[in-house]
Structure 1
Amino acid sequence: MPTNRRPLLENWLTRVLGTADFTLAHAAADAGARSYWRVLAGNRSRIVMDAPPASNDLAPFLAIAALLRDAGITAPEVLAQDTVQGFLLLSDLGDRTMLQAIDAGADPEPLFEAAIDALVHMQGIAMPTWLPGYDASLLERELDLFPDWYLARHRGITLDTREQAVWFDARTRLVNAALAQPRVFVHRDFMPRNLMPMQCADQGGIGVLDFQDAVAGPIAYDPLSLVKDAFRSWPLERAESWLRRYWERARAATLPVPDWPGFLRDADWIGMQRHLKVIGIFARLKHRDGKAHYVEDVPRFFAYLAEVLPRYPEFDEFAAVLARITPTRSDP
């Protein structure tokens, strides 16, 4: 937290809580400018979001939090807000994410079961008209992060004329495929780091965080994000077993998923879009925002791409371009 915001936050909390007798402990930070702090006052724990207003708009978070909670999804309750200063006081869903629980040795199977249940529930939400669409412009801007930030800025690579044509062909195919999928509520970062195992007797299952960028978009996006995590990889067979489990439950819930081969293709292709986007985002975080550690996970995404590209001959030329530039672990 910037030092000039700490007094503002403490003064606001004193007014909201009605006491200055509280402690603040860092809880989490994300890739943006937001940070999260655990507020302990008496025997109660809450979370405060610090979202500097110059770089954050709290309106989407507030609207989507209400949408999720009204639909019965476990999401933080907004207890107090100051959108001018950029502070939210939220209910505390716990101090260990699904990813942290797995890294600490928890059995991933029941956690993925709960996450899949929450996802199917979330995708059944009737989408409000104000929810932004995952349209062609947004898909293209995200994909362009790969050549602009990863290739050009991070690696100093310039594609030749033929390679540029291959890139634009792949880009067009991925955008068109994404737009052709059935549209549902899309969290856009539905992965174990943003999911909270709930242990309370009245709150089983999984809590959902970091949903402020949600859109109406391709049905395979969030299931793919869940099993092809940004910070932990699973064997392809296991990831696809979870993906099929999602598909079975989605069909049982009458969500608009195609047959299994069609859904797997949709997941593979929207996965390519996400993997390329995230590679570009991680490079931008290093070079624009000074957050260098994210690029250490870039090889994971090239590995994800290499897993599925051989399935689709229409991407053979693109796969050859990627093979030339795939980084080693020593040079992400």
Structure 2
Amino acid sequence: MPAIIKQFFYKSHEMTLSDSRFISLNQWLNRYFSYDVTPILISGDASFRRYFRVTSRDTSYIVADSPPTLVPIAPFIALASAYAAAGLTVPKVIASDAEQGFMLLSDLGDTQLLSVLTDANVADYYRRALALLPQVASVVESLDPVTGSTQPLPLYDEAFVRRELGIFTEWLLERHLQLELSDKERSLIAESFDLLVENALAQPKVGMHRDYHSRNLMLKNNELCVIDFQDAVLGPVTYDAVSLLRDCYVRWPQTMVQELMQQHYQQVLELGQIPAQTSFTQYQTWFDLMGLQRHIKAAGIFARLHYRDNKPAYMADIPLTLSYIVDIAGFYPELAQFSAWVQSRVVPAFATKGKNSQQGDKQ
């Protein structure tokens, strides 16, 4: 169950009889409720899934529609069980149909962590969120609901990291901005990406949520609940922490981020998730470059969501990711040229493209 209240995906219209999956979903729900219920569309997420809420006898549920050929539900079911066993509060799978791609889930409410964050409370909430990461890290395998066998999480390996970085070039630089990259520019990008791949592979590996941030943490009865975990992998120890602290959707003061980074460093050190001799300087390099890789990937994914999936709202989040890229890369001499290139070539091109698009809309 991805973030319930991603506002830019709210839709007020009802499903029509031409929606064959909605019809099938209603028929499936009739097996579990003694009277007709009306699924209300509440949100989509950054995938092909969509979510509904149904209410029966004063109890609400979430219904997931996940086309099986595009987004199989088996990983969600397996990881919901594994995360719950690790002590995390996650949606409970009440019923499921893998063949049709439907799930009936417990309802964790509408309160995303992001919606309640203020300058006064963010540090406390983020400390609580960081305190959940040891449980996330402990999940390195899950029980396949189909075969009944235990399967290790997919490995966040070199091919995986490079595939993510390639999204930036393909969808943001080439598809959206239509930049004609010179050989020199392509070489700069390749060399910079090589450094980021090396950084990711050098880190100790733990169970990794892969999208751990304030839109994927819900608050229910003042408890933090974890959602959107179906893409978990085994990967770099800093990944989830930097995903939270350098959120693609909001930017917090660096002094606070630095303090919380120190907390996570002490946490993973005490748990033995990094070698005892690992200095904070080494940890911060891992953290910074991991965040840089994530923001590069995210900028590309936001463009892909617009062009491939007809979800243009994510384009508004690209400027923040670009600012992270410029600032963090600029801290490191080996990436300073890449930082300057993004600042001088990509940022202006994105701004110009946006202005042209707005002018076209007015005509």
1:15 aligns with 2:37: no
> Does residue 232 of structure 1 match 2:246?
no
Q: Quote the offset at 1:85 in angstroms.
A: 1.0
Q: How much has 1:240 moved relative to structure 2?
A: 2.3
What percent of counterpart residues are identical?
Answer: 35
Distance 1:116 1:17 in 2: 39
Q: Structure 1: where are the runs of 5+ without partners? A: none
Determine whether 1:174 maps to 2:192: no
2:310 aligned with 1:290, yes or no? Answer: yes
Is the 1:309–1:315 contact (alpha carbons within 8 Å) kept by the matching residues of 2? yes
Query: Which residue pairs with 2:156 in the alignment?
Result: 134
For residues 35-56 of structure 1, give each alpha carbon's deviation from its aligned partner in whole angstroms, at most 9, with x where no partner exists.
1111110021111111012311
Aligned to 1:314: 334
8 Å contact kept, 1:114–1:205: no
TM-score (norm 1): 0.92
Whether 2:121 is the aligned partner of 1:107: answer: yes
Aligned residue in 2 for 1:56: 71
Query: CA-to-partner distance for each residue in 1:266-286, whole Å, 9 max, x for gaps?
Result: 011111111111111111111
- With 122-131 and 137-146 compared, the bigger mean Cα shift is at 122-131
- The aligned residue for residue 227 of structure 2 is 209
C-alpha distance in structure 1 between counterparts of 2:134 and 2:220, whole Å: 17
- In the TM superposition, 1:51-90 aligns within 5 A as 51-90=66-105
Aligned equivalent of 2:22: 6
* Alpha-carbon spacing, 1:176–1:119, altered in 2? closer, same or farther (3 Å): same
> 1:71-122, CA deviations, whole angstroms, 9 ceiling, x for partnerless residues?
111111110001111100111112111112227x982233212211111221
| Offset, 1:253 | 3.0
Q: Determine the structure 1 residue equivalent to 2:53.
A: 38
8 Å CA contact 1:120–1:246 kept in 2: the answer is no
The TM-score normalised by the length of structure 2 is 0.85
CA distance in 2, matches of 1:192, 1:239: 14
- Alignment partner, residue 43 of structure 2: 28
Q: Quote the Cα distance in structure 2 between the aligned partners of 1:267 and 1:151.
A: 25
Is the CA contact 2:326–2:340 (under 8 Å) kept in the aligned structure 1? Answer: no
Corresponding residue number in structure 1 for 2:5: none
The Cα shift of 1:167 comes to 0.9
Matched residues in 1 for 2:265 and 2:33: separation?
Answer: 45
Mapped to 1, the partners of 2:209 and 2:305 lie a distance apart of 21
Q: Give the Cα–Cα distance (whole angstroms) in 1 for the partners of residues 298 and 101 of structure 2.
A: 27
State the Cα deviation string for residues 277-327 of structure 1 (Å, max 9, x = none).
Answer: 111111111111111111111110111112222221111221222122232
Counterpart of 2:137? 123
Q: Is the 8 A contact 1:9 1:87 kept in 2?
A: yes
- Alignment partner of 1:275 is 2:275: no
| Structure 1 residues 27 and 102, CA gap change in structure 2 (3 angstroms) | farther
Counterpart contact for 2:140–2:233, Cα < 8 Å: no
Aligned residue number for residue 263 of structure 2: 245
Q: Which amino acid aligns with 1:140?
A: R
Whether the aligned pair in 1 keeps the contact of 2:94 and 2:105 (CA below 8 Å) is yes
Comparing 65-74 with 320-329, greater Cα deviation is found at 320-329
What SS does the aligned partner of 1:56 have? Answer: coil
Structure 2 unpaired stretches of 5+: 1-14, 143-150, 355-363
Kindly indicate whether the alpha-carbon contact (under 8 Å) linking 2:209 and 2:233 is maintained by their aligned counterparts in 1.
yes
C-alpha displacement of 1:331: 4.1
CA contact (8 A) 2:158 2:201 kept: yes
Distance 1:262 1:18 in 2: 59
Q: How far apart, in 2, do the equivalents of 1:193 and 1:126 lie?
A: 23
User: Do 2:140 and 2:152's aligned partners in 1 also have CA atoms closer than 8 Å?
Assistant: no
1:206, CA displacement in angstroms? 1.3
CA distance, structure 2, for counterparts of residue 106 and residue 88 of structure 1? 38
CA shift digits 1:120-148 (9 cap, x unpaired): 22113354652100011111111011111
Aligned residues of 1:133 and 1:216 also touching (Cα < 8 A): yes
Greater shift in the superposed pair: 307-316 or 122-131: 122-131
Q: Whole-Å Cα distance in 1 between the matches of residues 157 and 86 of structure 2?
A: 25
Is the contact made by 1:182 and 1:218 (CA closer than 8 Å) also made in structure 2? yes
